[in-house]
């Protein structure tokens, strides 16, 4: 009789733990997808965004790419791109292009895929996200093949439930430091 009581208590204890573990697992699976969804939703309301890729070699800028997008009415956007690189005399020279684009889909401009399996580790704090990405998963997150030496650090900053900044820092395969940043305005 005593063994039956112990056995029944153990079953009840395990039965109460199972829903708690599955609830935790479900929430941890969903939390990054919720961040991804929040990014997409807030970008829909952005009035402009600026993406900058700066590559340095021993603290000297060797390459800089800046793309500024101002969203206009009727699903169009004004896009300005500055590309700076070292010329033959090791001076940073800049080429600028600009254009107006029609039928802009804001969901297609900044694609970022957040999944727990893509990060070595991550932390969520005060609506902000900080994660470490292995070189094998850069393409999965950014939908673009970015070659890195080891790991990258991704920081996503929210303010008033809107994404205001996405920043990724990493070392290139050739040992240069790179910072890829996108800032959003509303």
Domain edges within the chain: 3-65+110-185
Residue 87, C-beta contacts closer than 8 angstroms, at least 6 positions apart: 93
Q: What are phi and psi of 180, to 5 degrees?
A: -110, 115
pTM above 0.75, yes or no: yes
Cβ neighbours, 10 Å, residue 147? 11
Per residue in 8-51, pLDDT tens?
A: 544 544 444 444 333 334 444 558 888 888 898 999 999 999 99
Per residue in 113-162, pLDDT tens?
A: 898 999 999 999 888 999 999 988 998 888 878 888 989 999 999 999 89
The CA distance from 7 to 4, in Å, is 5
Contact 183, 50 (CB under 8 A): yes
- What is the maximal distance between C-alpha atoms in the chain? 91
The CA distance from 145 to 123, in Å, is 24
């Amino acid at each position: 009789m005593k063994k039956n009581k112990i056995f029944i208590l153990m079953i009840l204890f395990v039965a109460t733990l199972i829903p708690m573990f599955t609830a935790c697992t479900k929430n941890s699976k969903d939390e990054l997808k919720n961040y991804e969804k929040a990014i997409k939703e807030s970008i829909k309301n952005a009035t402009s965004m600026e993406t900058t890729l700066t590559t340095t070699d021993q603290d000297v800028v060797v390459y800089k790419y800046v793309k500024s997008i101002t969203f206009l009415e009727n699903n169009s956007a004004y896009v300005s791109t500055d590309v700076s690189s070292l010329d033959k005399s090791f001076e940073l020279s800049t080429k600028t292009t600009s254009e107006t684009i029609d039928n802009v889909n804001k969901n297609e401009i900044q694609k970022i895929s957040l999944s727990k399996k893509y990060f070595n580790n991550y932390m969520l704090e005060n609506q902000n996200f900080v994660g470490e990405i292995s070189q094998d998963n850069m393409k999965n997150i950014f939908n673009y093949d970015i070659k890195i030496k080891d790991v990258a650090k991704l920081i996503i900053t929210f303010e008033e439930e809107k994404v205001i900044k996405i920043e990724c820092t990493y070392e290139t395969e050739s040992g240069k430091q790179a910072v890829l940043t996108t800032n959003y305005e509303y």
